[in-house]
Every structure is written in C-alpha cells, then in structure tokens.
C-alpha cells in the first residue's frame, strides 16, 4: 500500500528525527508539501515528479 492509498493527509517525519529540526512531508492533492518543524508556517510544494527526484536524491546521498 502506498502512502497516498493510506491517506497521507497528516504531516509525517522520520522515526529517527529528534525533538526539533525535522523535515516533515504531507501529500497535497497531486503534490507533496515539505516544511521544517522549526518553521512550520513556511512550506514548499513539489509536484509528484519533483518529489520523486528529491526523494531519490536523498536516498542516493546527493545532499549529504
């Protein structure tokens, strides 16, 4: 089951996240919202294709 199929309407963060400075994501229609837990009022919206490219870059270590 994909995240979208399970609802995806809540903000989600990694289980490895400490109490602050966490990236949070949320499905928003046909895109994804990303925000920092330190500044939750500021969000960035990605299309589905942009999200996949970003996620793949994170997994590949492109941002380390």
| Contact residues for 25 (Cβ-Cβ < 8 A; gap 6+) | 11, 12, 13, 32, 33, 34
10-26 pLDDT tens trace: 899 888 887 778 889 99
Report the percent of the chain where pLDDT is more than 90.
56
- Residue with the bigger pLDDT between 42 and 2: it is 42
Average pLDDT, the chain: 85
Question: Residue 25 forms beta bridges with which residues?
Answer: 12, 34
Residue 34 CB neighbour total at 10 angstroms: 17
The SS3 of residue 44 is strand
Q: Is the pLDDT of residue 1 over 70?
A: no
Question: Residue 46 forms beta bridges with which residues?
Answer: 32
pTM for this entry: 0.74
Contact 32, 41 (CB under 8 A): no
């Amino acid at each position: 089951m994909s995240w979208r199929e399970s609802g995806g309407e809540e903000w989600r963060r990694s289980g490895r996240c400490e109490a602050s400075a966490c990236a949070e994501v949320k499905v928003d229609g046909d895109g994804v919202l990303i925000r920092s837990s330190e500044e939750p009022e500021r969000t960035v919206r990605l299309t589905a294709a942009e999200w996949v490219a970003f996620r793949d870059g994170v997994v590949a270590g492109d941002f380390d």
